[in-house]
Structure 1
Amino acid sequence: MARIGRPGLSDEQKREVWRRWRDGQSLSEIGRVLGKVPGSIHGVVAANGGFVPAARTRSAGVLSLAEREEISRGLAAGDSFRAIAGRLGRAPSTVSREVGRHGGREEYRAARADEGAWGNARRPKSCLLQQSPALRDTVAGKLKEDWSPRQIAGWLARTFAPEDGMYVSHETIYKSLFIQARGVLKKELVSHLRRRRTMRRSKNASTAGQQRGCIRDAVSIRERPAEAEDRAVPGHWEGDLITGSKNSHIATLVERHSRYVMLVRVAGKDTISVISALSHQVRY
């Protein structure tokens, strides 16, 4: 069955997104490097509130892929769980549970079992605000009064004793606001923050040197010749770009003397797409 919509990002591409986001690059810059539209990059970053996820590592006590391959070979040879466990230096119950979780003797495959175990290990961890309704309600109340997360964290530390359990860092409050999948604080509370951001930006992020909203090597409209200004001489064209819904764009060309108009549908609003479409329209 054919896939609908734009293809997603691979795990390697997502790691590259987070590396560049941590370095302070914008969504557009990351998209250009990966050949993706900024909206695709925004979807990955916004899903985690702009917070760079921690690198996942395997616990030293879990079975490795090499051990699972040894289990698979032992099962194929008809060895008992105890014999396989003896070669691995593991308890027989560990091998028995591993095989039972991943299809039994007949269906067990090392690669599939390792992939399944890696996926099952991704368990959501509850934060302090989830564990304590009283703390959550207090934080939400202070946010409604336009307190900043840092002010709230400082006030809690001064007001309550450590044994009361009424403590939380400002980072946890930000994460609970920006990562709505946690379901801890209502999204409406974001509007009470002093900065209207909806996700965390890198400390290295800066717009210095970025030509946002500007046309590179642009020539001011004031510099066009007088003959184009008074529309007396044919042959002078004026272009513009109209953006519609669902990322649709139409370029317009207007001959200033006759007011003849050409409309050209373009695939994107980037320079290459617009120039290529206009050049083709003018030639043909």
Structure 2
Amino acid sequence: MPRYAPNKVETAVKRRYFELLREGYRGAAAAREVGVSTSCGSLWFIDAGSMIVDDPAPISPRFLTQDDRIAIADGLHASRNVKEIAADVGKSFQTVYREIQRNSKPGGRYQPWWAHNQALLNRKRPKAEKIRADEDLRGVVREKLTEKWSPQQTARFLLRAYPDQPAMRACPETIYRALYAGLLGFKDGKLRTGRSKRKAHRRGVPVPNKIKNMTLVHQRPLEVNDRAVPGHWEGDLIIGRHQGSAIGTLVERTTRYVRLIHLPDGWKAPQVRNALIAQTASIPYQLRKTLTWDQGREMALHQDTAALTGFRIYFCDPHSPWQRGTNENTNGLLRQYFPKGTDLSVHSAQDLRTVAQELNRRPRLVLGDKTPIEAMRGYLTRPITR
């Protein structure tokens, strides 16, 4: 079979030919419509597997489309790298690798219309669940999970133990799906991690910044690091039961002086912005230099907050709480007053002021047994430059 039809027409013409077939046109009529001979169209049809599977209703964009498969075929024909092809179609390179492996023709050639037909056939539902239908397979999988094997280890064992029995194989995803569907029992089939629900992942897909126009902590002024000058703060939220309430926490790096932010209306970005603006207005302007926060969505309106408070706001790297270690330590002290798993909305603004005063009157070894209030007053009695 030649690699392409003899007349080698443009891909757009072939695409339209197969679209017409899926719309119900006969081969000869579709060929006339796109301007090729009936025999040319027949060669295309045979090369695509001599069948046409109707496209389903619109599906999730995470699936490859017919145009994506055409782009993959064109890239392979041009001897392009798989990662380059993946970038062109906007998918991860793992997705493109799997597509080529699964849907190439038996001879190894990737033909986009054949591949699309195969993908549509494999996607058809309902399908019998492999582990549900096979009692022997189900028993082996349950036994291995009971012995604390992971689904990946179990899948590899099945491949080794039953090399000539395809029916006794299951990939890790099949095992996970059966487990979460309750086909392997509640206790005997429990994962060694203890999870009973799937945890969402986005493997291979770059996650965009959740907060726009962030300035990262590495760009802070150097004076922040040596703690010689006050006015540099760290902030965060402590979250209540079922993530239904929160309290904002601010601590000044040099003096360890604490301010608590009352959030009676919730802790989404607009509420946090408004509360920070209103409740930091009493801090002397010369003590509002920088504020370091983590990358929580509650600070999505950080540019408004910075403009209206005078703070220059910096963000930690993801999963790097040590970059605002003073605040982390302070949050640990605050949990004595606001235990985890409790409803924080029951605390009034006056309650928060009382707790902050207690902490600010507690002597700290790092301050030479001074209290944060004493340390702050010591700086306020001398000129502070911004």
TM-score between both structures, scaled by the size of structure 1:
0.39
Q: Give 1 or 2 for the bigger CA radius of gyration.
A: 2
TM-score between both structures, scaled by the size of structure 2:
0.30
Q: Whose RCO is larger (CA < 8 A, sep 6+)?
A: 1
